[in-house]
Amino acid sequence: MTNDYLKKPLPNSQEQDDFYQKLRSRIQKWLDNRSGGVGKLGQYVLFAPDFFHLLSRLMLDSRIDASSKSKIGAGILYFFAPIDFLPELLVGPGGFLDDVVVAVFIVNTLLNKFPTEVIEEHWAGDKELLSVVRGISNSGSKVVSKIPAGRLVKRFMK
């Protein structure tokens, strides 16, 4: 059964875009229903679909080497992991915050290894990728590092 599942073709570009838009609108709706309680963290949660989409597209890019793809794959799997530092099952879309932290760490390593253009051409977010990555990385010492995934990622960055 598992082998048959692995043989299934990947979703086509339109299906990937549809999933991206559905996830983005679900998170936006969740944020809209919060009464001012999410603040700056909510802004980071909204980047989850953007980073998931970016990692998925980079996984299929032939210019990315196998070693980097293993890191990208680990980041994608972290989005799906039912048990992580902030499980979506328990905290709703707010649980994507730790996924964003992990994705930013991976994207940072890729930006240090590949030309920025290679990474940016897969970015579907509204804001410029480098600006988003810098913003999240810079606030890491203030906001993001307060969550366990942020502390874990900082440990691996040393």
Domain count, the chain: 1
Residue 7 lies in a domain: no
Give alpha helix (H) positions in 33-128.
Answer: 39-45, 48-59, 66-80, 88-91, 96-111, 116-120
Residue 110 lies in a domain: yes
Residue 4 lies in a domain: no
152 or 126: whose pLDDT is higher? 126
Distances (CA, A) of 94 to 10, 23, 120, 135, 150: 27, 13, 25, 18, 15
Residue 85 lies in a domain: yes
- Identify the band that residue 156 occupies on the pLDDT scale cut at 50, 70 and 90: very low
Residue 67 lies in a domain: yes
Residue 5 lies in a domain: no
Q: Which residue has the tokens 């980041």?
A: 75
| Structural domain that includes position 99 | 12-157
Give the mean pLDDT of the chain: 76
Burial 70-105, CB ≥16 within 10 A → b, else e = ebbeebbebbeeeebbbebeeebbbbbbbbbbbbbb
Residue 1 lies in a domain: no
For position 61, what pLDDT does the model report? 93
Tens of pLDDT along 106-120? 999 999 999 999 999
Q: Return the number of other C-beta atoms located less than 10 Å from residue 120's C-beta.
A: 13
The pTM (predicted TM-score) of the whole model is 0.73
- Tell me: pLDDT of 78 over 70: yes
Mean pLDDT over 1-29 rounds to 71
- Tell me: pLDDT of 55 over 60: yes
Residue 149 lies in a domain: yes
Distance CA 110, CA 115 (A): 9
Mean pLDDT over 20-41 rounds to 74
